Structure 1
C-alpha cells in the first residue's frame, strides 16, 4: 500500500513531485477523455470546475477501497461534497465502453454525512496497524455503502490463512495450477477476474513470491529472477513459462503444510505489516482473526 504522502501526491495538481510516471492519477488518462481540462489538474480543483460529480464504483474489493479513500479525501471540502453523488453497480464498469455505460441510467444516491463518516471509518480501519478494526467493521451497519461488506470480507480473506499461511488469492493460484492451468498470464488474469483484490500486475508479483522464495511452491520459472527494470525479460518469463507445483506446493495446496513455517513472509495488508513473527491470520470457516 502506498504511503499517505504518495497517496496525497496522486491527487494533487501536477508538479515537480510527478517526475515519474504513475505518480499522478491522470498519467494513464488519454487527452481524449480529459479534453480541455487537461491531465495536470488536482482532484479537488477538477471537482470545483464541475456542476456535479458522479462517483461510479465497481463492486470489486480494490475499487471499494478507492471509493472510501476518495470520499475520505473529499470529506473536508464541503463545497465539493455538495456536488457529489454515488453510483454503485453489480458489474465491473471498466469492461464496458464509456458510451455503453453512460446509457445505463443507474440511480445516483446522494453522498450524505453518514456515507462520508462510514468511508472515513473504513479507510482508517484499513490503515490501522492491525486488522482488528477492519473485522470490527463487519459487526456494524455498512448499508450506507452497499458493496462494502462483501469487499471487506474478500480483503480479510487475503490475510494468511490459519492452516496454510497463504492468502486466498495465493492459495487459489496453487489450486488452479493443480487443476492444470500452467500459464502465468492466464493465472494472473483469472485471479484478477475471480477475486478482484489484486490487479493483473499485482497478481504477477504474487506468482513471483511463490516461486522465488526459500521453499518454493511453484516451479518452472528461470532459476534467477531478472533485474526489476528488465521489463522485457519479465514479460517474456510470464508469457513463455509453464508452471507446476513443487512437492511442497502440493502439500500446501492440499492444506497439509503451512507455507509460513518454511518460507519468509513480509508483506503489508493495508496498514498491517505481516511477518513470520507477527503473522495475523484469517480463519475462513469462522470468519475470525487469529492473532500472532
Structure 2
C-alpha cells in the first residue's frame, strides 16, 4: 500500500521512521505575523511559485522517493498522489496550537479534493513530535481514525474562525464539540490566552516571561531554548524574540537589559540577533513589576500592532481574553 504522511516541521523525524513511502513536512506556522493569503497557500500546495515570497513549495522538504525519484518536485501535492497511486494520506499533527492550526488548514484544503479526501486518515498523535526519538516515531502505537464529511466541515469552521478579523468566532468554538479532533479546542484556548489580559495587558507567554525574569532568570538562552523554563506551546524560539523586544521597548518598557544593538539589526540577521540576545542580562523595570502584579496595564502605556490569526491587534482595536472567566473582552 502506498502511503504519504503529511505533518508539521516538528514531524520531520518521521522521514526516517519507515511509516510511509513519503513524508511531507508542511512549513507554514500560523501563530505569528499576518496569515498567508489563500492564494499563497494554494500555490504552495499546487506547486506554483508566487511573487514577493520565498520560492517554496510543498515538495521542497521532501526527500527523494525510491519509487518516484524527484518527480514530486514538478507536481502539485494531490496531482502527485493521483499519479503515483497513493492509497492513504495520513495526517500526523501533535496537540500543540501550531500543529492543530496546520491540521485544520490542510483538512480544509483536502476536503475540496475528492481523490485526497477519500484517502485521508487521521493519526491521534498525543505527544509532542518535536524531540520525539526515532524509536517512538517508528514503533509507538497511534490510533488511526477515518476522516468523514462532518470532520472536514469542523476543520473548515475552525480555520475560517481563526482567519476572521476578530477573535469572536474562535471564542465560540469553545462551546463546540470536535469528536475526531480532540486536541483542537484546547489549542484554541491556548491561542486565546495569548491575547492581552484585561488587568495587565499581557498575554500568557508575556506574563511567563516577566515572572521568570522577576525570579532571576535573566539569560535568553535558558528562557528560549526548547524544553527550557518557559512553558509555552504556542511560540517557538524565533517568535519569542520579537515578543521579548515588545516588552523591552516603547514609552514604558517592562524589561531592562536587552542589548540595544537589536534595534539596529535587520530581522534576517539571525546570527547577529542571536548574539545580541545572548549578551543581554534581563531585569524588570519598576513599571514591569507593577504590570506583573496586575497594578498597571502594559497596553495603556505602550503601543501594540500584532497579528493574532486574522485579527490585527492595535491599541484602538485591542481584544482581550479573561483567562479566569474564559471570556472575550471586546475593544
Could you tell me the TM-score, scaled by structure 2's length? 0.81
Between the two proteins, the alignment pairs up a number of residues equal to 291
Shift of 1:280: 0.6
The answer to whether structure 1 residue 212 and structure 2 residue 245 are counterparts is no
Residue aligned with 1:233, SS: helix
2:292 and 2:267 map into 1 onto residues whose CA distance is 29
Q: Determine if contact 1:61/1:152 at 8 Å carries over to the other structure.
A: yes
> 1:163-201: per-residue Cα shift (whole Å, max 9, x none)?
111111111111111112111132123579722111121
1:62 aligns with one of 98, 114, 122: 98
Which one of 2, 5, 9 corresponds to residue 43 of structure 2? 9
Query: Is 1:84 matched with 2:117?
Result: no
2:91 is paired with a residue whose SS is strand
CA distance 1:128–1:247, shift in 2 (3 Å): same
Aligned residue in 2 for 1:127 = 163
CA distance in 2, matches of 1:212, 1:135: 30
Shift of 1:76: 0.4
Question: Which of the numbers 258, 265, 274 marks the counterpart of 2:313?
Answer: 274
Deviations 1:1-35 (A, max 9, x none): 323133333323154659726x4344445558998
Q: Hey, what does 2:231 align to over in structure 1?
A: 194
Distance 1:99 1:247 in 2: 49
- 8 A contact 2:35–2:309 mirrored in 1: no
Partner of 2:220: 184
Contact 1:192 1:203 in 2 (8 A): no
- 1:1-292 to structure 2, matched below 5 A, reads 1-4=34-37, 5-15=39-49, 17=51, 20=54, 23-29=56-62, 31=64, 36-37=69-70, 40=73, 41-48=75-82, 49=84, 50-98=86-134, 100-189=136-225, 194-224=231-261, 225=263, 226-292=265-331
Distance 1:171 1:271 in 2: 23
Aligned residues of 2:40 and 2:50 also touching (Cα < 8 A): no
| Alpha-carbon distance in 2 for matches of 1:34, 1:20 | 29
Deviations 1:114-160 (A, max 9, x none): 11000000000111111111111111112221111111110110111
Give the unaligned 5+ runs of structure 1: none
* Contact 2:35/2:310 (<8 A) preserved: no
RMSD: 2.4
Q: Deviations over 1:210-267 (max 9, x none)?
A: 1232321112122241223333220101223221111111111111110111100111
Give ranges in structure 2 of 5+ residues lacking alignment.
1-33
